[in-house]
Chain A
């Protein structure tokens, strides 16, 4: 069934990313306008806008399945792309679309359901002989049960939300004493974020690398992998910088892990884009973590090295076309990095930085790609996550890609709020990172300061503040001319002047 029109049930940069490909394919694009950001950039990128600004606040707009489904039917739209986050991994939403003859651009509801439940996913992995970490076989009901398992497999352990993802609902526990508090936190976070308080316990690998494989399947049963991404630069399990390929893998290990990823995907007859996440320990042993049944934030690094458009492949697979390439046709060229530009104050522990983008200056070159959902004048609100743009750089090899990245970051200026740009610069300046020798402990162990500070910058800042202050003083002084003429004087200054005479 051919897709003529498509609703993106999402916002920000990913909505714009999907629109770009859909337009190239001649598909009419629709988006949803919310009262939280009625002037957002993604609205002007689409052909048609559905107005949800009158939405009542019981569930957020992009999570309201019934409302989205009825809008799609009302406007006779043939397909829905969920982006990432929101309903992207909701089996209920995918099923509702199927029931209503709406094409869901993503995997089957069964695949989402099985992989979305980490307990089932682990059982499938075990069945297909993919390496796993020791831990509870299923959900644990209370802190006591968690404690028993933890004692058996040994601390440290990690508590994870059974329906979780993206780092939420996860807690590392170092000893018995912390367990109860951490269990409660993980469970309440899981209940809030994923509507499911269930958590499980797993052996915690200290300082692993986070390696994930992009896989792709079609409805004819073909499944291939498009190489790996390394996402070890993380803070509290939130990825900040990703690269493809990974400096940790050689050809043999890549083949072994790629095959394991394909086997996981095969276990649920997977089609569309998916990501199989592994932990890689210091002995190059890998363990299956989870499978994400959606397009990922970091998909552009795979696109940069493979030359493929993953959104296009998703759309083609959704309209029942077979994959246009086989495993042997997948070519990876050069090296790519992605830097997440978040509205966060790195100097204040990455706390959210709200405000207005007053000005932006973006670097341009053929090896630079910027996926962004903002424009000058955009207001960064607390309603959505803090990522405002992604800077993606391609180079002939890792060394060159790092060099191009450093140059591009120097030219990326955003005025009006604090961003993670100085953090990205600091990472590129780190010698372990440059050598490709880093793991998920990188931020704590390797970076004493989480932002890059130019030599003399503090002195220059002191100068500029003084420069502006002196200028304001002078402006105040100039106002005395007005005073002499008896014009434009505020009562406050008048009072001050009178007292000083």
Chain B
């Protein structure tokens, strides 16, 4: 019976947060849910006016899914966001393997954290750069934002020019690790 075995697997989820933070969550996903082995009385409500909220220990928490891409979620609770990828025990093992292989990659890309205009580029290709040094200045919402190098290495390629407009997540600069 293939179907039941599939169903059995869906009884356990692992919500993986940033860093190594994770929550094991066991079905049913209602007030009988078990999180990290403990039974939690969480209730989900959806207001007719469009807000969702959770009731937990007599407190009301405004909750909202800001972004969702397959199993990757950005959830906002009372204005603070949390990033999770929701895994099954099998996909969790695969994910661990993938993360290991990513670490060994040699280059790091700096992407635009927001849409804006490149005011100035402060580095040149084939020069060394230290982690935390400013690589360029991006203007958005009338503010100049210094974009910093996330690793120490050599500037391999600059993908933008001064006065270019960029979208969020556009690749700006590639840095090669030493």
Contacts and interface: CB of A to CB of B under 8 A. Distances in A.
A469 interface: yes
A185 B120 CA distance: 10
Interface string B107-143: 0000001111001100000000000000001001111
B65 A382 contact: no
A471 B73 CA distance: 14
Interface stretch (A352-360, A397-405, A432-440): A352-360
Interface stretch (B20-28, B97-105, B152-160): B20-28
A333 interface: no
Given A422-B79, A453-B80, A462 B51 contact: no
Contacts of A192: 119
Given A413-B51, A418-B79, A451-B80, A464 B44 contact: yes
A352 B62 CA distance: 22
A81 to B, nearest CB: 21
Contacts of A384: 141-142
A466 B51 contact: no
A462 to B, nearest CB: 4
Interface residues of A, number: 53
A465 B75 contact: yes
Interface string A160-199: 0000000010000000000000000100110011000000
Given A421-B79, A459-B23, A454 B61 contact: yes
B95 to A, nearest CB: 14
B81 A418 contact: yes
B78 A457 contact: yes
Nearest to B59: A454
Contacts of A470: 10, 13, 27, 29
Interface magnitude class on chain B: 35 or more
B75 A188 contact: no
B68 interface: yes
B17 A463 contact: no
B40 A463 contact: yes
A460 B51 contact: no
Given A188-B119, A465-B73, 13 more contacts: A351-B145, A352-B141, A410-B78, A415-B51, A415-B62, A422-B78, A425-B79, A457-B77, A457-B78, A458-B82, A461-B76, A462-B35, A468-B68
B54 to A, nearest CB: 5
18 contacts: A347-B81, A348-B113, A351-B113, A354-B115, A358-B50, A410-B78, A415-B62, A418-B66, A418-B81, A451-B80, A460-B56, A461-B63, A461-B77, A462-B15, A462-B25, A465-B82, A466-B15, A468-B73
A463 B29 CA distance: 8
A385 B141 contact: yes
A461 B114 contact: no
A385 B142 contact: yes
B150 interface: no
A347 B33 CA distance: 29
B86 A469 contact: yes
Contacts of A188: 119-120
A382 B15 contact: no
A75 to B, nearest CB: 29
Nearest to A419: B79
B58 interface: no
B64 interface: yes
A492 interface: no
Name the residue in A347, A454, A460 with the highest tally of chain B Cβ atoms < 10 Å from its Cβ: A460
Contacts of A352: 114, 140-141, 143
Contacts of B59: 454
Contacts of A345: 81
A192 B162 CA distance: 15
Interface in A420-453: 421-422, 425, 451-453
A456 interface: yes
A385 B139 CA distance: 12
A193 B139 CA distance: 12
Contact of A465 (B15, B42, B62): B15
B78 A462 contact: no
A385 B140 CA distance: 9
B4 interface: no
A421 B23 CA distance: 26
Given A462-B17, A462-B25, A470-B10, A457 B80 contact: yes
B120 to A, nearest CB: 7
Q: Which 3 A-B pairs rank lowest in CB-CB distance, beginning with the nearest?
A: A462-B15, A465-B73, A461-B82
Contacts of B145: 351
Name the residue in A354, A359, A453, A458 with the highest tally of chain B Cβ atoms < 10 Å from its Cβ: A458
B81 A463 contact: no
Contacts of A416: 64, 66
A463 B42 contact: yes
B10 to A, nearest CB: 6
A462 B82 contact: yes
A201 B67 CA distance: 46
Name the residue in A359, A386, A416 with the highest tally of chain B Cβ atoms < 10 Å from its Cβ: A359
A461 B51 contact: no
B53 to A, nearest CB: 9
Nearest to B42: A463
A460 B63 contact: yes
A56 interface: no
Given A464-B75, A467-B44, A458 B113 contact: no
A161 to B, nearest CB: 13
Interface in B1-56: 10, 13, 15, 17, 21, 23, 25, 27, 29, 33, 35-36, 40, 42, 44, 49-52, 54, 56
Nearest to A376: B50
